[in-house]
Structure 1
Amino acid sequence: MSEVSTPDMVMEAATVAQTRGRSLWADARGRLFRNRAALASIVLLAIVALACALGPSLTGHDYDQVYQDYVRVPATFSSYPLPAQTAPAVDRIASRIRAKAEGLVDEGDRIRLTLVSASTRPVDERLLVYFERSDLFGRAVATGKEDEGRRLAVEVPVKRQHFWFGTDSNGRDLLTRTLVAGRVSLAIGVLATTVAILIGVLWGSTAGYLGGRVDLVMMRVVDILYSLPFIFFVILLVVFFGRNFVLMFIAVGAVEWLDMARIVRGQTLSIKRQEYVQAAEAMGVGTRGILRRHIIPNTLGPVVVYMTLLVPKVILLESFLSFLGLGVQEPMTSWGVLIAEGAKAIQGSVWMLVWPSVFLTSTLFCLNFIGDGLRDALDPKDR
């Protein structure tokens, strides 16, 4: 039998649907996903982060592996060595063996040639190890002898390498180094921003809610720290603690929380006058409970927006410090380090500057578009 809907049942279903409602965060999420620029930026940023996390293990190169025969080779989809590189490399190796290369035949994955001794002595087969020491070839094998060993037929396998982004001034794969640099830059941006947000939110909310002399003293501390030059502060940290990766988090996070403290303090001064805060005070809720349950949660809107704007700022600061030589040091790298190296070699190796700049610029644009989308989504005037 089919169920019959009565007016009471319809009214009850409508009441249940009405009481469920939607939270403000759900509404904000819906508005954010309707923003095409922000949604595309989220997808692109996720792709960049995933590529930086998993890409270095798939390129076939270590970020610090040096190829002496592939210094500043341009980016190409073809595999190295190129046909124009094979013959000169063979001639260089043959000269070290004190022989001359003749009858070179390139079969793609291997080459065949004849080594002719430059003297009356036979070709020393032990010197064929020079082929294996090269970045272009594998272990050479002698396949025949003529003229009492003065003519030696040799078969040499070719090591095929792909450098999609080319190589740098030291012969290291630029794709691998760009992805590893993305790990460092994104890690510094996210972790330093997290440190700045935690300190700034706690400091600003406490100062704004307590007010009075406590607020005066705490904000004067902020003003004093504002007066210290950022570069001077970083140089002092480098002098006392040396150059290390953790230092970047301390240097950047210990300065960037000042803006967040002022923003949260201003929001707290407005929120603590609201009726629900006064009601909590009247019910005997302590200061810690009011801060944790009422003040801080209601400041998260501006905090989230500012966080998306602070991450690109921190990445740019790290790039600036690395450009000055105060940031990440070799063999580790970051986008700022790669851009600094590419700027020095821009005349002859423009790809060294282009690829790190593309990744850095794309990431900064994505974060700014996400910040704009969050600002619009969390704006109470648009609800």
Structure 2
Amino acid sequence: MTSTTDERDLKAASAVRGRSLWDDARDRLLANKAAVTSMVVLVAVAIACFIGPLLSPHDYDEVYREYVKVPASLEPYPRADQVTPEIESVLRRARVTVDELTVESGNFTARISSPRKIDPRVTRYIDRSDLFENAEIYDFSADEKSATVRADVKTLYFFFGTDSNGRDLMTRTLIAGRVSLTIGLLATFVAIAIGVVYGAVSGYLGGRVDLLMMRIVDILYSLPFIFFVILLVVFFGRNFVLMFIAVGAVEWLDMARIVRGQTLSLKRQEFVQAAEALGVDNAGVLKRHIIPNTLGQVVIYMTLLVPKVILLESFLSFLGLGVQEPMTSWGVLISEGSRNVQGAAWMLIFPSIFLTSTLFALNFIGDGLRDALDPKDR
């Protein structure tokens, strides 16, 4: 008898608890295949950008002088036809003559000679090359004018090719993703957080408060964006925090106006008036009724703001106010790739793939969130 009563109590409690609007929105979002796939793609890109450079054998600023603008390839460098000319060039710079050369798999051996005594430090010329390592010299002749040198052929992989300075493009693309995603997402979230709260408060309170708050927005609109960024550069210097503050502190103005317009419409709805009649304070009405019902428009604007922020970052970097060498971003890589598209198309293709994949994913996620948070579907 007691167990039956307990079961009834549990069923009654679950029936009273019910489901929240957020639970329904989550289920509708997870049922959207395009949105779920886009979330997987976005997470994969983020993981690759933040973990990939740690696993890469190349640093993002490491320069390989012998590998400038080499094409993307799954096969290792150097190619077989590159080894012999490079050996001869290196030893020519060391002012020795190659009498006999044997190139084997993974190393080479050369008999060298010179009209004067050979300095054992000649191996430094070989080690400075990007193609060889672990050079050693031995088997000197009696007059030390001939000797034998050997070195290992250094195997390198450039899956995305290299740029115009001989830096690994894969590592730089992943590092650029860190910069673009960090600036784009964080600046967007700051702009949305400020704009939603500011616009909702302005639209809901109305009257003189609304008039004063909107005039402040108009004043900020009148300030040139570049002038505002230059002021931040003077005070804070060039760093990621600057980009984050500069973009986020300006882009919230559009969001504030959008949310204000939605709030002016929502505050006349019956459910808001009912909440006011029940004695809910202004903060409670904004938190539970106004702001949640503006999220559909907010999400749509967010999907447009992220690529806008990424492009703004690229524009500022071009002017010398943003990301500076050797650090990079997707926008900077695409700008550089577009100038070399005829002879080195891979410099444009790979950063563009990452950028477009991210933007498509954000758009599909935005559409899914818009449908999930649409009050008409609840």
Offset, 1:46: 0.6
- Aligned equivalent of 2:335, options 329, 335, 340: 340
Is it true that 1:362 corresponds to 2:357 in the alignment?
Answer: yes
1:362 shift after superposition: 1.0
Per-residue Cα deviation, 1:18-66 (whole angstroms, up to 9, x for no partner): 5454322222222222222222111111100000010001111111112
3-state DSSP of counterpart to 1:153: strand
Does 1:218 find its partner at 2:194? no
Letter of the 1:58 counterpart: L
Q: Which moved more, 1:25-34 or 1:144-153?
A: 144-153
Matched, 1:65 2:62: yes
More divergent stretch after superposition (12-21 vs 199-208): 12-21
Q: Any stretches of 5+ residues in structure 2 without a counterpart?
A: none
Letter in 1 for 2:341: I
Given candidates 356, 367, 370, the residue that maps to 1:372 is 367
Q: 2:106 corresponds to which letter in structure 1?
A: D
Q: Which residue does the alignment assign to 1:295?
A: 290
Partner of 1:95: 92
Helix, strand or coil at the partner of 2:139: strand
Aligned to 1:126: 121
C-alpha distance after superposition, 1:225-245 (max 9, x if no partner): 334443454345446654332
**CA distance, structure 2, for counterparts of residue 140 and residue 217 of structure 1:** 74
**Distance in structure 2 (CA, Å) of the matches to 1:236 and 1:343:** 31
The SS at the match of 1:168 is coil
Instruction: Measure, in 1, the Cα distance between the counterparts of 2:329 and 2:205.
Output: 42
Amino acid at match of 1:108: S
Q: Which amino acid is 2:372 matched to? A: A
Verify the 8 A CA contact 1:323 1:336 in the aligned structure 2.
Answer: no
Cα–Cα, structure 1 residues 281 and 22, in superposed 2: closer, same or farther, change >3 Å? closer
What is the correspondence of 1:23-62 to structure 2 with a 5 Å cutoff?
Answer: 23-62=20-59
Q: In the superposition, relative to structure 1, how do residues 262 and 66 fare at CA in structure 2: closer, same or farther (>3 Å)?
A: same
Distance 1:128-1:10 versus aligned 2 partners, 3 A rule: closer
1:75 aligned residue:
72
Q: What one-letter code is carried by the residue in structure 2 that aligns with 1:71?
A: V
**How big is the shift at 1:131?**
1.0
Contact 1:102 1:116 in 2 (8 A): yes
User: What are the superposed Cα offsets for residues 134-183 of structure 1, whole Å, 9 maximum, x if unpaired?
Assistant: 22111312242347433322221122111111111222111111101100
1:192 and 2:216 are equivalent in the alignment: no
Kept after mapping to 2: 8 A contact 1:65/1:172: yes
The yes-or-no answer on 1:151 pairing with 2:146 is yes
Query: May I ask how many residue pairs the two structures share in their alignment?
Result: 377
**How far apart in 2 are the matches of 1:124 and 1:239?**
53
2:44 corresponds to which letter in structure 1?
I
* TM-score (norm. length: structure 2): 0.90
Q: Does the 8 Å contact 2:84/2:103 carry over to 1? A: no
SS, match of residue 73 in structure 1: coil
Deviates more, 1:311-320 or 1:228-237: 228-237
SS of 1:139's equivalent in the other structure is strand
- Identify the residue that residue 110 of structure 2 maps to in structure 1: 113
The amino acid that maps onto 1:370 is I
Distance 1:235 1:52, change over 3 A: same
Structure 1 window deviating more from structure 2 (168-177 vs 99-108): it is 99-108
Moved more, 41-50 or 96-105: 96-105
Matches within 5 A, 1:209-358: 209-238=204-233, 241-282=236-277, 284-358=279-353
More displaced stretch, 366-375 vs 219-228: 219-228
Distance of 1:73 and 1:19 partners within structure 2:
66
TM-score, normalization by structure 1:
0.88
Moved more, 343-352 or 281-290: 281-290
Q: Distance in 2 between matches of 1:305 and 1:22?
A: 25
Alpha-carbon distance between aligned partners in 2 of 1:86 and 1:37, rounded to the nearest angstrom: 49
Comparing 278-287 with 160-169, which one deviates more in the overlay? 278-287
